[in-house]
Amino acid sequence: MAKQKSAEQPSESNGVSNGETLYVSDVDRSLIVARNEDILFNPLSNVGENVLNWVKSQHDRRLFKWAKGIEPDQEVDCESDLTYLRSLDPVQWKDQDHYQVVGLRHLRERASEDDIKKAYRIRVLKHHPDKRQAAGETINTEGDYFACIVKAYEILSNPAKRRAYDSVDPLFDDYTPSKSVKSPEEFFTVYGKWFALNARWSNDQPAPFLGNMFSTRNQVDDFYQFWFDFDSWREYSYLDEEDKEKGQSREERRWIEKQNKAQRAKLKKEEMARIRSVVEQAWSLDPRIALFKEVSRQEKLEKKLAKQRAVQDQKDELEKVRLEEERVIREETERQQAEEKERDAAAKKIKEAQKRALKKERKTFRTVCKSNNYYSEDDKTTVENMASMEELCEILQLEELTRLNELLANLSIDDGRFEFERTVQTVAQRISEEKAKTAQEAYKESDNSGGGGGGGRRSKGEEQWCHEELQLLIKAVNLFPAGTAQRWEVVANFLNQHYQGSSGKKRSAKEVLAKAKDLNSSDFSKNSLKEEANQKAYEFFEKNIKNPNAAVVVESEETKREEGVINNKSGPVSDSNAEKPWTAAEQKLFEQALKTYSAAAHPADRWDRISECVPGRSKKECVARYKELAALVKAKKSAQVVK
């Protein structure tokens, strides 16, 4: 205990000056000499709360001892004190310093009840009117200052009245510290003194001190929490303008009390606002708060960066996994593509080799047939055998054609003719069987298809599609291309207009659609329509051979949609003067000329002008083209109207 006490006492190296102990402050690491009474208002080094409490207790003990050592009569006999007492007015008793009146100015709020009683007795013995009158002093009975001494003792001896007076102590300075502090040391000095002075009003004792730069964050938070929630016992009943006891009636006393309470509440509110504003001002200027905020900001920033890094690492890991998966998939795809490419290349080589071999065998077959006069005896048989030769070249496979060539090469002309005719018959029989099988499957498929499907079920009484109906169907499909409004109804109407069956029954749009799909999905190379077209082509060829000077008339219709315009070309075409088809550019110029030169504006020379606008076309060709387009438009309109 002795060691602790000796450690807590100030060192003698600080010295004594004029009876006052000197202390050393290390706030700015320089020597600061402070008086004993100011030590509580200067920041101390962080050496512990016990040292601070010990210094405060020593200060209070020395101060109290010094005050006790002063004899009351010494102050009473003081000329300045006597002058102050004689200057007092009993009527203005609220404006006097009661502690100075009773001789306790040096103790003030620290004075005990015994101190007050003792000081009052001394004042009474020295300043009682009877005693002063006996000494020859003239006494003013109406305004003697002794009444002020009695009033001061009355207030200080009553705890409630003394508390009310201490709340408005005239020597207490209700100042507000300056907002401009140049350094942390100045902040702790200025605001530390203010908080120490105003701590006397707190109901919660002891009040925490401001501390210094070495204070922890918890200590700083507790300090400001205490002062933000400051609970003051200070009240202002001493400043009441009127005493309610002077009221003549109960209503008047109530009114006076109400006015006094309102005035007290106003002053209390102003006092709490003063303390609150200083606390907020200290919070904003406290260098520790700025440091703590910066530390918190750095911690938040570090957490945010750590979180971002974690998210980025996770993204990088996922991206790495994704890239690895893509690499594996890409390598697998490349491997499969390389294998497929190799297979395709090998297949292509095989196919090209087969094509070359097939081409070679066909050439060999044609050469053999030609060298043997196509195994014929007259011109008619020659033409037929030439057609059969081409048919065999088209139908026979490579192996079959190779065997046939080897067989014909080793046979005589007669045996070769026999083998040629036998092969032709065999191929013809095969084609017939395939046609029958295909037709049977098509009708079976049509019969077994569902009613809600694309084909529709054929009824028992439905007629078979004849060749003329199929030709009209193909023509109508080309005439009314995709995009035509209600296309299949229009095609069905066109078909019913141009063909009447034996039973007179008309084709529905569903039947037309089903048949069109059937024709589209079937193998056209084995279709009877192709065979008939080939037969007609051969007939035209034979007719042309027999009569080369005769004109060959070919009925053809070609429907195109070039930039929204339908071009239909039909008519007689001769070998000597074939009609040149209209191109898209010519059609566009022709349509523009029709719009530019109307029949009303140019009734005489309209077609001459139109033919001049279309290079390479005569007036006759332009008129024929116009009539052709007009007939097509009229046919389409009539087919769309009749449903």
241-250 pLDDT, tens digit per residue, is 777 777 788 8
Chain length of the chain = 643
Residue pair 137/194 in contact by the 8 Å Cβ criterion = no
Please tell me the number of Cα atoms within 13 Å of 604 on its side-chain side. Answer: 0
How far apart CA 208 and CA 192 sit, in angstroms, is 10
How far apart CA 571 and CA 620 sit, in angstroms, is 14
Backbone angles phi, psi at 58, to 5 degrees: -65, -40
Residue 468 has pLDDT above 70, yes or no: yes
DSSP β-bridge partners for residue 16? 21
How far apart CA 626 and CA 200 sit, in angstroms, is 117
Average pLDDT rounded to a whole number, residues 67-81: 49
Average pLDDT rounded to a whole number, residues 127-133: 88
What is the average pLDDT value for the chain, to the nearest integer? 77
Look at residue 333 in the predicted model and tell me its pLDDT: 92
CA–CA distances in Å: residue 402 to residues 354, 360, 364, 395, 430: 12, 10, 9, 13, 19
Of the ranges 167-181, 363-377, 534-548, which one carries the lowest mean pLDDT score? 534-548
Could you tell me how far CA 486 lies from the centroid of its own chain? 47
Look at residue 365 in the predicted model and tell me its pLDDT: 84
DSSP β-bridge partners for residue 560? 567
Looking at 427-585, which runs of residues are DSSP E strands? 559-562, 565-568
Look at residue 64 in the predicted model and tell me its pLDDT: 60
**pLDDT tens-place string over residues 381-417:** 887 888 888 888 888 888 888 888 888 888 888 888 8
Residue 475 has pLDDT above 80, yes or no: yes
Token couple for 471: 């030709």
Residue 217 has pLDDT above 50, yes or no: yes
Under DSSP, the state recorded for 33 is: E
How far apart CA 227 and CA 276 sit, in angstroms, is 8
How far apart CA 324 and CA 315 sit, in angstroms, is 14
Model confidence band, residue 91 (pLDDT cutoffs 50, 70, 90): confident
DSSP β-bridge partners for residue 21? 16
**pLDDT tens-place string over residues 108-126:** 888 899 999 999 999 888 8
How far apart CA 382 and CA 466 sit, in angstroms, is 33
Average pLDDT rounded to a whole number, residues 346-364: 89
Token couple for 35: 């008086």
What pTM did the predictor assign?
Answer: 0.41
How far apart CA 513 and CA 504 sit, in angstroms, is 20
Residue 358 has pLDDT above 70, yes or no: yes
Residue pair 139/132 in contact by the 8 Å Cβ criterion = yes
Model confidence band, residue 322 (pLDDT cutoffs 50, 70, 90): very high
Helix axis angle, 413-448 to 509-521, nearest 10°: 140
**pLDDT tens-place string over residues 31-49:** 333 444 444 444 444 555 6
How far apart CA 467 and CA 456 sit, in angstroms, is 21
Average pLDDT rounded to a whole number, residues 573-594: 72
- Provide the 10 A C-beta neighbour count for residue 172: 16
Model confidence band, residue 548 (pLDDT cutoffs 50, 70, 90): very low
